[in-house]
Amino acid sequence: MPDERGDSPETDLFDYDAELRRHNARLRAAARVGAGDRVLDIGCGTGLTTREAARAAAGGSALGVDISAPMLAKARELSAAEQLSNVAFELADAQVHRFAPESFDLCVSRFGSMFFDDPVAAFTNIGQALRPGARLVLLVWREYERNEWASGLMPIRPAKPADGPGPFALADPGRTETILTAAGFTDVAFDEVHEPVYFGTDPAAALANLLRLQGFKEMFADLDVDAAEAARAKLRAALTDHMTETGVYFDSRAWIVTACRP
């Protein structure tokens, strides 16, 4: 599920690489990584976006940071296999990590910036790592109601406050602009992304993928045997209804948020 990463590299590879392939293309186009850019990737997971940035910044570099050691281990393995010499990964919480001041030309994040406990403090910290004139490019989910992968598969909305950390924390443009402005960014803009998310080649594969994810593990943990089987049956039916010639897809809406350091 796009908003619930477990700590397994295999889970992340499915979620963030196959599931979000079309979203990733939109983020890559918006980032416009330059040949000499020094790129910071927040919440990089197993590092697909970091590796893509490193390839585009052939004369520069890319640093991916994440709080999951297993995902970063997989990111390093994949980077080594691709023989990328200008990419690095660091276990770090971007909210408080002491980045070298003014050391990056571009900061990107693919669905990794919505979980900060104090978003103003977090983006202020990230901003200090960017040189004057550097750009911030975030891919974040729009509202729960606008994302079929959430409302259609988990009809009980997550019990999280609208202004608290969670997958939809930056869905409201007004609130997000206020946060980024308070953190010292300017020229905040929003571009809608309307692309489907991919769950698997068929309903059986999609169900297996969903049941590996943390959000569904938590949902099923409190159910007895009969209730769990009834819930699985509902999921199978929903996934079957969304089967296409090329796999199981659900509708989604997101924002690409851009901003600058003055």
Sign (positive/negative) of CA torsion 116, 90, 73, 249? positive
What mean pLDDT do residues 144-153 have?
Answer: 88
What mean pLDDT do residues 239-252 have?
Answer: 94
Domain ranges of the chain: 20-147+156-198+249-261, 201-247
> At residue 158, does pLDDT exceed 70?
no
| Better pLDDT: 131 or 1 | 131
Cα torsion for 26, 28, 32, 34, to the nearest 10°?
Answer: -170
> At residue 94, does pLDDT exceed 80?
yes
What mean pLDDT do residues 181-187 have?
Answer: 98
pLDDT digits over 223-245, tens only?
Answer: 888 888 888 898 899 999 999 99
> 20-147+156-198+249-261: CATH homologous superfamily?
Vaccinia Virus protein VP39 (3.40.50.150)
Edge to edge, the sheet with strand 254-260 lists: 87-91, 61-66, 38-42, 104-110, 130-141, 254-260, 186-193
pLDDT digits over 12-68, tens only?
Answer: 444 557 788 899 999 999 999 999 999 999 999 999 999 999 999 999 999 999 999
> At residue 134, does pLDDT exceed 50?
yes
Model pLDDT, residue 3:
45
